[in-house]
Every structure is written in structure tokens, then in C-alpha cells.
Amino acid sequence: MTNQSPMLQDRTALVTGASRGIGRAIANLLAAQGGRIAVHFGSDGDAAEAVRRELATDGHVILQADLARPQEAAALPDRAADALGRLDMVINNAGIFVPHDIGALDAESWQKAWDRTIAVNLTAPSLIMHGAVPHLEKCGGGHLVNITSRGAFRGEPEAPAYGAAKAGLNSLTQSLAIKLAPKRIHLVAVAPGWVLTDMTESFLNGSAGEGIRGQSPLNRTANADEVAQVVLLAVSGRADALTGGIIDVNCASYLR
């Protein structure tokens, strides 16, 4: 029996928000499958460097960018391609969740929360994909994966801009899946619910945890490694019929 080559051997990926949580799990899994990773981070360079060091094999890089700044988001694909030598795939994972109660905020505060959420969660991924397409074309095609949320469907009453941004990102994924298909560029959205990570563990293990887990008939949440496995399938080249799809990863806590 011969050993199979890693799924992503000689391929490269930009993973945004890769210094922790879901992004870290994605970066680790893609690297374990032979990929070389550009680990993007916003502010915690030490955490990003720790992720880079823990990745399998060599040739990984870290890149800082404030995704609330359009020019920095737009520049990321070129920077990743320059650092890695090429760019085969992008995983838009970075996002922010800013609570903003419509009944408790004045107009200026509401607008501020709205603008920052949309900038990071929707505008930045659109700019990154725009910048990535020429690089993927040079590789003969590639993959773009957007991490969205079940909140795009069930609503986010405490952070409506988050739900709106993720709904927009789902729609953008589907629009570009059609537009870019002739270029052999495949797009998938992955929509988790609550995910157990180092960031959410204390909350999920607190007083709210039982109620959150109870939303699922499995009485649990997903974990970051499960989300990463779905991303791996989407970029593997072994299931490109998924293009244009939105894959729920929420333990049946919300069905549509």
C-alpha cells in the first residue's frame, strides 16, 4: 500500500485571523496537509508567531493588517503571494462581534459599531478576494472560503450588523462562485454556530453554557477542529462541486 501525498502539497494559503481560535485550527490543519500558510493577525503578533512555530513543516509567514482599514485588507493577497511565492487559496476567517442594542445607543454610537463591523466582516473579505483573484488565476484556479455564521439566517438581535455582514458574505460567496467558475476558482461559505475555542471556553463553561448547548439536539457545540475539517474539504480539490454552497456547522442548533 502506497502512502498518499498530503492533500495540499506545494499549495499556499492566506488565513485571516489565524492567531487564535478557528483560524488557528484551520492554519494547523492546512499545514499538516502540506500547505504553506500566511498567518494573518490584527494585533497580537506574539500569538501569531506562536502559531507559525507550531505549524507542521516549514515556509510559513506571519502578516499583520488591520482589516478595518480597507487599504490594508486590499494589500494582503499581494503581500501573501510575495511572501509565499504564490497564492492558491484564501480563507477569510477574521471577524468581530460588537454588541450594539438599537434601543440603547444614540445614532453616533450605533453608526460607529455598524461601520466597524461591516468593514471587518464584509468589506475586508470582499477586498481580499478581489486582490486574490489574479494570483489564483496564475495558479490555474484556486479556492476562496468565507467563514460566515448561523447568525446570517437566525438573526443577531444583540449585534445586528454582525448578522447583516454575514448574510452579505454568504450572498457575495454565491455571486462570485458563479462569476469566477470559468476561471476555475471555487467558493464556499462555512457557517458555524457557537464554537468551543480557547476564547469561548470560559463563557460556554459558565452560567450560559447549558442553555447554549441545549439549542442542539446533540447538547453540544462544534469545536474549532470540526470547522477546520470542513474548510479542508472545501479547498482540497476533491469536492469542488461544493462551489457556491453554504455549509452549516452548528450541531443542528439551527436548520434552514
- Residue type at position 128: I
Of 2, 1, 72, 4, which is closest to residue 238 (Cα–Cα)? Answer: 4
In whole angstroms, what is the distance from residue 241 CA to residue 245 CA?
Answer: 9
Of 63, 56, 67, 53, which is closest to residue 31 (Cα–Cα)? Answer: 56
Q: Which helix or strand (DSSP H or E) is residue 73 part of?
A: helix 70-84
Instruction: Provide DSSP, 174-216.
Output: HHHHHHHGGGTEEEEEEEE-SEE-TTTHHHHTSTTHHHHHTTS
Specify the long-range contacts of residues 202-205, CB closer than 8 Å, at least 24 apart: none
Beta strands 195-196 and 222-223, pairing class: parallel
In whole angstroms, what is the distance from residue 113 CA to residue 199 CA?
Answer: 21
Question: What are the catalytic residues?
Answer: 162
